[in-house]
Each structure stands twice: as structure tokens, then as C-alpha cells.
């Protein structure tokens, strides 16, 4: 592992992704009454939806666990059927393209950004492992990245998290572009277009695994959004969605699925997807996301029983420099 002692970790001050309780009363958000949404098919019991808990992503606990063995480790497989192999095309991801967008570059030196996402992923993987063991939320290996508005960093965080999780020895990650109206995962990673999740939902003869793109980043797979249908939300709410998603992780104990979603307050798919995931990370963009919008967004995602908040784009106050300057963030 690269020498991390040279990296100025931000354990207490504001950082890219920080404990955000100073900005919002998140516990109050958790206590907010949830809106009366019509029940969706394939959802866990309504009582579970009402028990949605909001938790702020925690830095320190994870920092201590940097040398922990990877979680969600593979179970013995002798008697277990093989997972569905991802059979789509395989493409190279241009590292320069990643660098230009301030994304994590696999195989590169440890950076502050990498460290920040290591901290976040550790908590998510711990919850996923607990879920697999029957202690945590149901389907904890499925993680929804959401936020109230566009431009708050959902895709940025989803891609960085996926690259970070792909580096785990015992995990592989499937990054699903679930922003069907404005998909951007493929362009962010510099990957060519192809059929995707919405196509597989709309066409029962299409196997979803044939749509999954492999990459030259070990352990990183991408499922494109596919063609928008005009009935995206209805397809997502159909019984087929759970079958398709279950197929992606069946018999694959180390597989994590990350959904990059559209803004919660601008489009309905995120709310429906919350029914299908065990963890949701709500991105809060520093100096941008209002508290009322955050409350509304969290309320609409209430079907997910484990909601974490992640503050994105803050500055380091200790040095007086913008956080972005520190990490090469272009304004
Ligand atoms: N912490 C960050 N540092 C640098 N750039 C960021 C950061 N968060 C978001 N961005 C940039 O801001 C823009 C909007 O982010 P994006 O992830 O596309 O938002 P969303 O998916 O929520 O609409 C993108 O150009 C992205 O690269
Ligand atoms: Mg996006």
C-alpha cells in the first residue's frame, strides 16, 4: 500500500465529505413525517418504510479501520451455484479522462480524495456485510446514491465510490446508471453507449447481464441506463425490476451494486428505487443544498431503511484554502 503518512488527513475539520451535523439537524430530518406514498409492488413491509433511519456518514470510526480485512467477504462457494456472469463487452477506461474530472485514478498514488472515499466505502461495506449476515438492512449490497437537486455530486460520488470499492480484494462492484432521463455515467467514464437497465426492464427477452459492460479496472462493471421509455417509473415499479436486480447479485456474495440516480425532487425514479435498495446515500452539496429540500428528499426516500448523508464539496478551513484547490477542483 502506498505510504499514507504523507497524506494530510482531515479527521476533525471540514473536508470533501464530512460529518455534516453542523450544517443540518439531520436527526430532525429523520423524525419528519414521511409523505403518504402509494405502496409500490415488491417493497418491504410499510412498517419498515416508516422506520427509515438517517445516519450521517461517519469519518472517525472508519479511519480506524483502514487496515481491517475487507468486509462482505466471499462465503464458501462449494455448494453455491455460480453467479450470473456479466457477458457484455469489455472496454478500457482512459485514466487521463478520470484525472481531468478530478475522479479517483486506480493504481495511482494515494490522494486525499481516495482517502475520503475509502472512509465512506468502509461504512457502506460494513453495512452490506451485516445485511448479508442477516443483521443489517435487507439488500444492503444495493446502494442508492441520491440528492435533492441536479449538480450536487451524485454521479461524482457514485463513480468515485465504485472505483474505490472495485479496489477491494473481496468485492466487485456494478455501477448502474439509473438517471434514465440524463444518464452521465458512461460519458463520465468515457465508455461507449449500449443497452441498459431500462431496456432489460422493458424487454423480458433481453438478459440484463448481457448489457453489463466490463472494464479494465479490475472488479468494476457498468450497467448503462438504456433507452428512456416515457414509462420509466412504471417499469421500475413493476414486479420484473426485483427479478432483474436479484439476478445481478444472485450467488455473488461480494458483489455491490451502486445506483446513480436522478434528483429526488425533479424525477420519480429515485423514490421508486429506494424500495429496491438496502442503503441510500443522500449527497448534500456544501453551500448549495437547502435544508427544506433535504427534508423533502429524505422523506421521499423513506422506503429505504438505512439513509446516510454525505456532505460534498466543502473547504478546508484550517488552511484557508478552498477544498477544491487542495484536490484540484476546478471552479
Ligand atoms: N467534490 C467535488 N470535487 C470536484 N468536482 C465535483 C465535486 N462534486 C461534484 N463535482 C463536479 O460537479 C459537477 C456536477 O456533479 P454531478 O456529479 O454531475 O452532479 P449530479 O450527478 O448530482 O447532477 C460535475 O462536473 C462534477 O465533476
Ligand atoms: Mg448525475
Q: What is the DSSP string of 181-211?
A: SS--HHHHHTPPP---HHHHHH-TTS-GGGG
Residue 187 Cβ contacting ligand 1 at under 6 Å: no
Give the residue, by CA position, lying nearest to ligand 1 atom 9: 153
User: 120-131 pLDDT, tens per residue?
Assistant: 999 999 999 999
Residue 160 Cβ contacting ligand 1 at under 6 Å: no
Instruction: To the nearest 10°, report the CA torsion of 109, 113, 116, 119.
Output: -40
- Tell me, in angstroms, the distance from the centre of ligand 1 to residue 329's CA: 10
What ranges make up the beta strands (E) of 199-323? Answer: 213-215, 220-223, 255-260, 279-285, 306-312
Angstrom distance (rounded) from CA 241 to CA 82: 21
- Kindly state the average pLDDT of the residues 10-36: 42
Quote the pLDDT of residue 28. 52
CB distance 152 to 312 below 8 Å: yes
Q: What percent of the chain has a predicted confidence (pLDDT) above 70?
A: 71
All domains of the chain, ordered by start, with CATH? 46-68+112-326 (3.40.50.300)
- Kindly state the average pLDDT of the residues 146-173: 97
CA-based R_g, the chain, Å: 19
For residue 190, pLDDT over 50 is answered with: yes
What average pLDDT is seen over the chain?
79
**Residue to probe by mutation, ligand 1, list 151, 261, 265, 324, most atoms within 8 Å of CB:** 151
- Tell me, in angstroms, the distance from the centre of ligand 1 to residue 138's CA: 29
Amino acid at each position: 500500500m502506498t505510504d499514507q503518512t504523507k497524506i494530510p488527513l482531515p479527521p476533525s475539520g471540514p473536508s470533501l465529505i464530512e460529518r455534516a451535523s453542523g450544517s443540518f439537524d439531520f436527526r430532525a430530518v429523520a423524525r419528519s413525517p414521511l409523505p403518504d406514498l402509494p405502496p409500490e409492488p415488491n417493497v418491504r413491509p410499510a412498517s419498515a418504510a416508516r422506520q427509515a433511519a438517517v445516519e450521517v456518514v461517519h469519518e472517525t470510526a472508519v479511519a480506524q479501520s483502514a487496515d481491517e480485512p475487507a468486509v462482505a467477504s466471499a462465503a464458501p462457494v462449494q455448494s453455491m451455484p455460480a453467479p450470473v456472469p456479466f457477458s457484455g463487452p469489455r472496454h478500457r477506461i482512459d485514466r487521463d479522462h478520470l484525472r481531468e474530472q478530478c475522479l479517483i485514478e486506480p493504481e495511482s498514488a494515494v490522494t486525499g480524495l481516495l482517502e475520503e472515499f475509502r472512509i465512506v466505502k468502509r461504512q457502506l461495506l460494513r453495512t452490506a456485510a451485516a445485511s448479508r449476515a442477516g443483521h443489517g438492512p435487507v439488500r444492503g449490497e444495493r446502494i442508492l446514491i441520491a440528492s435533492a437537486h441536479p449538480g450536487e455530486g451524485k454521479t461524482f460520488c457514485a463513480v468515485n465510490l465504485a472505483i474505490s470499492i472495485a479496489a477491494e480484494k473481496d468485492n466487485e462492484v456494478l455501477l448502474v446508471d439509473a438517471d434514465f432521463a440524463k444518464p452521465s455515467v458512461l460519458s463520465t467514464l468515457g465508455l461507449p453507449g449500449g443497452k441498459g437497465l431500462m431496456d432489460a426492464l422493458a424487454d423480458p427477452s433481453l438478459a440484463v447481464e448481457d448489457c453489463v459492460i466490463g472494464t479494465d479496472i479490475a472488479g468494476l462493471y457498468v450497467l448503462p441506463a438504456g433507452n428512456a421509455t416515457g414509462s420509466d417509473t412504471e417499469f421500475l415499479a413493476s414486479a420484473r425490476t426485483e427479478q432483474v436486480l436479484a439476478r445481478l447479485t444472485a450467488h455473488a456474495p461480494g458483489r455491490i451494486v451502486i445506483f446513480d440516480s436522478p434528483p429526488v425532487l425533479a424525477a420519480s425514479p429515485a423514490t421508486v428505487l429506494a424500495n429496491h435498495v438496502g442503503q441510500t446515500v443522500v449527497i448534500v452539496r456544501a453551500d448549495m443544498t437547502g435544508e427544506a429540500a433535504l427534508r423533502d428528499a429524505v422523506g421521499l426516500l423513506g422506503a429505504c431503511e438505512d439513509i446516510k448523508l454525505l456532505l460534498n464539496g466543502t473547504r478546508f478551513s484550517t488552511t484557508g484554502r478552498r477544498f477544491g484547490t487542495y484536490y484540484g477542483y476546478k471552479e
